[in-house]
Structure 1
Amino acid sequence: MVFAFERQEQILNYVNQEKKASVKNLSKRFKVSEVTIRRDLEELANKGLIIKIHGGALTINHNFSNEIPYKAKFSLNVEAKKKIGKAAAKIIEDNDVVIFDAGSTTVEVAAHLCDVKNVTAITNDINIAMVLSNNPNVSLIVTGGILQKSVYTLTGPTAEDFLSTVHVNKTFLGADAISINYGITNRTMLEIPIKKAMIKAAEEVIVVADYSKINKKVFAHVCDLKEIDKIVIDKMDMEMEKAFEEIGIQLIIADKNP
């Protein structure tokens, strides 16, 4: 007898390996009813481990043009994001004014912000705002805007207009995908004007992203790499490291800077 949690683990491994799977094929493979498979997929989707679609499921990393819910993002590459957050937070100096883009990696930067004084932080991310609200050394500004509930992000004209009025030392930018040829791309169009405004507002733009985002592109173009000053990442192979350095981007590799 196979317990439900064991079957769901096997289903998750299969979906991640194959990138997508149908209810019908999963039913045949695991020798259970389609009703049972749909229930398994629902539970995996509720945990943020897969993306449930009509008739089946997609691996999270195969999702090309739809925003991944926050709890799904938060469960991916957790240790890598913490390393990145710790390394990126060291870039922030006393009296800096910084923007934190929304995201599960940028929230780790905010969470590791310590040993600095009189920092002013601007964000459109409710989770980041909650983290920073408990930091006595940070003056917090939230952009305002329309809440995207699945990702706890504020978007829309109010946020865009506010960001167009500020000038900051550093922007910490999240990325769904990073490519030498295609630059920074994002799964949804909705966040693009916000990200562009954050880039324009900053003297220095720092992308924070784990290695799974490298050599990928998704739906919507954010900016070319020439607009990026630094990338903080958990690891990088030598070939890609050289390619980024050749176009003038400073890499901060968390595994080399513990």
Structure 2
Amino acid sequence: MGDNHNLLAEQRRALILDEVRRRGGVRVNELTRKLNVSDMTVRRDLDALAHQGVVEKVHGGAVPVAEASTHEPGFEAKSGMEQGAKEAIARAAAGLVTAGSAIALTGGTTTYAVAHQLLDVPDLTVVTNSVRVADVFHSGQRRAGGRGPRPGAATVVLTGGVRTPSDSLVGPVADQAIRSLHFDLLFLGVHGLSVEAGLTTPNLAEAETNRQFVRSARRVVVVADHTKWGTVGLSSFASLEEVATLVTDAGIPQVLRAEISEHVAEVVVAGEPESGADG
């Protein structure tokens, strides 16, 4: 009995750690619902994980331990999650971009995948608060062996701001820069989304910066794989009604697609023919 209890605790803690790394933070009340265990059990699990040095406890929940190095393991860990889905979503999202347009990309591993797919679209102006996304364009533009940017290379505007664990720049400096700009298309990564809470993130400063991005965009495109559905971060920054297009993957159940379609104008299911997208 004792062994079984320990096994369950280990499994639970592995699941909690996975959630923390994937989403950049979790709340105790969320975990009690998700895992169907008591508040005290979750707190004990978080204590154990904090003792192992893999999470840091914060008021009401936990966040990943920030490494001293500039390479944040959370990003690499998240890059491996749902990789096939992210690639499919990125290809479908890139198809929405026309040459010569002004676009914006927020931070996150899915928008990072989108950036790779946009390297061949000529004459883009790209606004981003993601150090990683800016690096993709910087490296991609010089790939042809020349010393300067290749013809048609994107003009990249990287906002200032304070760096988060997921390598996004947030805070008043980022908000001020974004507020003064206008773009045709915004590709928005999210920690979670639901019909009730809309688009959410556990990071309050990031929520405010994302809010500014949404205000400055003519058209908002959310890129999110099916695992993000039903996940609710600490802070909401937009409702589903503010989203023009959702690009997701085939892992999303038909019944959920119908529900989402009531709130979002266009739902693109990557990896499926257009006719199958609305079930």
Scaled to the shorter chain, the TM-score interval is 0.7 to 0.9
Q: Distance in 2 between matches of 1:174 and 1:52?
A: 31
CA–CA distance in 2 between the matches of 1:230 and 1:92?
Answer: 13
Normalising by structure 2, report the TM-score. Answer: 0.69
Segments of structure 2 that go 5 or more residues without pairing to the other structure are: 1-6, 18-46, 66-73, 142-149, 275-279
Helix, strand or coil at the partner of 2:205: coil
Of 133, 154, 169, the residue aligned with 1:138 is 154
Partners of 2:260 and 2:129 in 1: CA distance: 28
Does residue 211 (structure 1) correspond to residue 208 (structure 2)? The answer is no
Q: Is 1:168 the equivalent of 2:183? A: yes
Which amino acid counterpart does residue 95 of structure 1 have in structure 2? G
1:187-210 CA distance string (max 9 Å, x none): 111201110010000000000111
What percent identity do the matched residue pairs reach? 23
Deviation at 1:223, TM superposition (A): 1.1
**What CA distance in whole angstroms lies between the structure 1 residues aligned with 2:54 and 2:265?**
33
Are the structure 2 counterparts of residues 52 and 106 from structure 1 closer, same or farther at C-alpha, using a change threshold of 3 Å? Answer: farther
Shift of 1:220: 1.0
Deviation readout 1:74-117 (Å, 9 max, x if unpaired):
12111211111111111111111001000000000000114422
Alignment of 1:73-88 (within 5 A): 73-88=78-93
Q: Is the 8 A contact 2:100 2:122 kept in 1?
A: yes
Deviation, structure 1 residue 57: 8.7
Which amino acid in 1 is paired with 2:113? E
8 Å contact kept, 2:106–2:168? no
For the residues of structure 1 that align with 2:87 and 2:48, how far apart are their CA atoms?
27
Please tell me whether the aligned partners of residues 13 and 49 of structure 2 are also in contact (alpha carbons under 8 angstroms): no
1:156 Cα deviation from its structure 2 partner? 1.8
Distance in 2, matches of 1:67 and 1:172, equals 25
Cα distance in 2 for partners of 1:52, 1:147 equals 28
Distance 1:75 1:160 in 2: 30
1:190 aligns to 2:205 (yes or no): yes
Match of 1:256 in 2: 272
Q: Return 66-75 or 167-176, whichever deviates more.
A: 66-75
Structure 1's 113 and 64: CA in aligned 2 closer, same or farther, altered over 3 A?
Answer: farther
Answering whether residue 248 of structure 2 is matched by residue 233 of structure 1, we say: yes
Q: For structure 1, which segment, 196-205 or 229-238, has the greater mean C-alpha deviation from structure 2 after superposition?
A: 229-238
RMSD over aligned Cα atoms: 3.0
CA shift, 1:147, in A, is 2.3
Any conservation in 1 of the 2:240–2:264 contact (CA below 8 Å)?
no
Q: Distance in 2 between matches of 1:52 and 1:163?
A: 41
With over 3 angstroms needed to count, the CA separation of the structure-2 counterparts of 1:112 and 1:226, relative to structure 1, is: same
Counterpart residue number, 1:14 = 11
Q: 1:220 aligns with which of 231, 235, 243?
A: 235
TM superposition score normalised by structure 1: 0.75
Task: Provide the aligned length of Structure 1 versus Structure 2.
Answer: 216
